[in-house]
Amino acid sequence: MNDFFLLNNESLPYVFIDQNIEIKQIQVKNLNRFGQFADPIKKLESYSIETITPLIETNIIQLMGVFSIVTTLDADYFTDRLENTEAIADLILKVIQVNEDFFNKEPKGENSKDSSWFNAISYLIKHGHREEEVLNMSYGAFLKYIKETQAIERQQIKSYAIATRVANNAKQSGWDKYIKQLDG
């Protein structure tokens, strides 16, 4: 999904058997509950019809939980069609596609064990976002904002380092010229 899809918190129209539904992005505020339901899917080595189909029979309750959070699928309609495992597996693949940042298999960074959700949310709040705004972001948008905020912070640190180096190595006239250039 592209950046505008993430930032606008859009949903994907989808036809499950013969019912029009929407597949929504997981919001930060629902991550804990969604993660509990989606755990069997996330543990798979890869995502395909073949790997997902065996989960349907053994983890149907968790899958129903996933669908209740990120789709507009009617529960009664779904339970009447449990025998259609291929359609259910395809729906799971679409949920994975829409929420690819959650299901991404990339390894965690070195410092991830020291980090918490509270720290990540506080980090965005410190950089100008409101708490409610952050909690209502899709998970994909949340990750993009974190990444961009970190890039801006790294650039600021680099700018401070350059200014410090210039200050330490410049003659007074060179320093004054540098400051005037920065002022515009």
Would you kindly state where each structural domain of the chain is located, as residue ranges?
Answer: 3-103, 117-183
Q: What is the pTM of this model?
A: 0.70
39 touches 58 (CB < 8 A): no
Pair 149, 11: CB distance under 8 Å? no
Q: What is the dihedral of CA 78, 84, 86, 87, to 10 degrees?
A: -40
Ramachandran angles phi, psi of 154, nearest 5°: -60, -40
Residue 91 pLDDT > 80, yes or no?
yes
Best CA proximity match to 103, nearest among 167, 48, 164, 166: 48
Would the pLDDT of 141 be above 90? Answer: no
Name the 3-class secondary structure at 137.
coil
Reference 79, options 51, 60, 52, 54; nearest CA is: 60
All residues at 6 or more sequence positions from 40 whose CB lies less than 8 Å from its CB, including other chains: 55, 58, 59, 62, 63
- Cα separation, 165 vs 152, whole angstroms: 20
What distance lies between CA 140 and its chain's CA centroid?
3
Residue 162, pLDDT > 90, answer no
Token representation of residue 31 = 């991550």
Q: Please determine, for residue 92, whether its predicted confidence score (pLDDT) is greater than 80.
A: yes
Where does the pLDDT of residue 180 fall: very low under 50, low under 70, confident under 90, or very high at 90 and above? Answer: confident
Give the pLDDT confidence of 45-58 residue by residue, as tens digits.
999 999 999 999 99
pLDDT at 154: 87
Q: What average pLDDT does this structure show over 157-163?
A: 81
What's the confidence (pLDDT) of residue 43? Answer: 94
Burial class for 51, CB neighbours closer than 10 Å (0-12, 13-18, 19+): middle
Q: For 93-97, what is the mean pLDDT?
A: 96
| Mean pLDDT, rounded, of the chain | 86
Percent share of the chain, pLDDT over 70? 90
Torsion sign over Cα 61, 62, 65, 70 = negative
Residue with tokens 């991830």: 112
pLDDT value at position 118? 76
